[in-house]
Amino acid sequence: PEFISVSNLADVIGVRPANFVSRMEDMGFEDVHYDHVLDAETAGLVAAEFNYEAIFDDGTADLTAAPPPEDASDLPTRPPVVTIMGHVDHGKTTILDWLRKSSVAAGEHGGITQHIGAFSVPMPSGKMITFLDTPGHSAFLEMRRRGADVTDIVVLVVAADDSVKPQTIEAIKHATQANVPVIVAMSKIDKEGCNPDKVKQDLSVHGVHVEDYGGDVQAIGVSGKTGAGMIELEEAIGALSEMLDHRADTECNAEGWVLEASTKSYGRVASALIRRGTLRPGDIIVAGTTWARVRTLRNEAGVAISEATPGMPVEIDGWRDQPAAGTEILQAPTEQRAKEAVDYRLERSETVKMGEDMAAINEARLEKR
Ligand code: GDP
Ligand code: MG
């Protein structure tokens, strides 16, 4: 199989290609050209000349996510994960606060909520919706940067008295790029001087075509102050989620994302969103270059729970080191495997990878002797 060209190897090692070639010729190689491709073994041999050790491995020490299921239709449904985006001061926090309070009022929480980066509310139907909490926007961007598609639905908040503004356009761009469906919440509908028609018109200029304006994106007038339209908004999210048919395996190894990490009186904690599987106290998980034996799982009310299922936000403690926001959580079968994966990741981050195309074959790294 292909491995690495002479010039790329010279580059990785940090030697001028001409010097590199003459050194290879000193070693006995003939007719060396910059674009000759060396197999892994030869590359390792040459690298050794430059005091680099080539480390070949098949990546099995690492933990990786399971491939997505081919057919999800038999799996249990899960709550949709919703991010609220929009221009500053258009009412995002007010809407989130209303939703959170309504769930407190619904008796989910005993009145106290704490910030864990996301929260779930029951819909009128009894099904749950999970909202990524403020700063939803930056969390969304950060995870997208890491290639995570945590969000199923974006609620685009546009103040009905202010219409489309620069950050509205930004939000539209992000949702479009991430291929996430949008529901428009035309906020502050209680205020005088609202012009929902202008909002709809302005949105269509930017490619969001709402009902009656040539498209099928739902636009709902809401007020986070009076609660007007909020039930309709929840229902619209529920209907869209039902149509998108979000499902996830609850029986496989747990997988998820770290939303935020912090230190609390009872130790290092990370809030997380479970993507697949069921996480329970005692489970071993890896996130980036740290791992945890889950000591306690808490919901957003701070109440210890016995398991966390897909789409559910949860606070996890028991971390060796603080995990980074946006990293992927993967369950390991044993502590030993978790440590192995972490060691592997730490070691790999300190060494130089050879070539781009090596992913196809066994992985090789160079380590300075
Ligand atoms: P964010 O920056 O998008 O999170 O916006 P906020 O939720 O912080 O709201 C910005 C300002 O608009 C605050 O002064 C809110 O009190 C006010 N506001 C938000 N929603 C409404 C609403 O539905 N009606 C009215 N009248 N004011 C609102
Ligand atoms: Mg805000």
- Which residues sit opposite 154 in a β-bridge? 83, 182
When pLDDT is averaged across residues 124-144 and rounded to a whole number, the result is: 72
Q: How confident is the model at residue 254 (pLDDT cuts 50, 70, 90)?
A: very high
168 lines ligand 1 (CB under 6 A): no
Half-sphere exposure of residue 16, counting CA atoms within 13 Å on the CB side?
Answer: 3
Q: Which helix (H) or strand (E) holds 86?
A: strand 81-86
191 lines ligand 1 (CB under 6 A): yes
88 lines ligand 1 (CB under 6 A): yes
Question: 83, 84, 89: which to mutate for ligand 1, most atoms within 8 A of CB?
Answer: 89
When pLDDT is averaged across residues 266-281 and rounded to a whole number, the result is: 93
Q: Residue 335 Cα, ligand 1 centroid: separation in angstroms?
A: 47
Instruction: Answer whether 15's CB lies under 8 Å from 46's CB.
Output: no
In the predicted structure, residue 160 carries a pLDDT above the cut 50: yes
| The two structure tokens encoding residue 65 | 């996510």
In the predicted structure, residue 222 carries a pLDDT above the cut 90: yes
Neighbours of 5 (CB within 10 A): 19
Q: Considering only 54-63, 100-109, 154-163, 222-231, which range has the smallest mean pLDDT?
A: 100-109
Q: Which helix (H) or strand (E) holds 242?
A: helix 230-244
> What residue owns the CA closest to ligand 1's atom 9?
91
187 lines ligand 1 (CB under 6 A): yes
From the CA of 91, the nearest ligand is 1
When pLDDT is averaged across residues 224-252 and rounded to a whole number, the result is: 94
Q: How confident is the model at residue 359 (pLDDT cuts 50, 70, 90)?
A: very low
In the predicted structure, residue 137 carries a pLDDT above the cut 60: no
Buried b (16+ CB within 10 A) or exposed e, 14-48: eeebeebbebbeeeebeebeeebbbebebbbebbe
CA dist 299 and 303 (Å) reads 6
211 lines ligand 1 (CB under 6 A): no
pTM, two decimal places: 0.81
Burial of 293 (0-12, 13-18, 19+ CB in 10 A): middle
Hey, is 233 helix, strand or coil? Answer: helix
Hey, is 48 helix, strand or coil? Answer: helix
ipTM of the complex: 0.99
- Convert the pLDDT of each residue in 8-17 to its tens digit: 889 888 899 9
Q: Residue 92 Cα, ligand 2 centroid: separation in angstroms?
A: 5
CA dist 78 and 274 (Å) reads 10
289 lines ligand 1 (CB under 6 A): no
| The two structure tokens encoding residue 252 | 């496989």
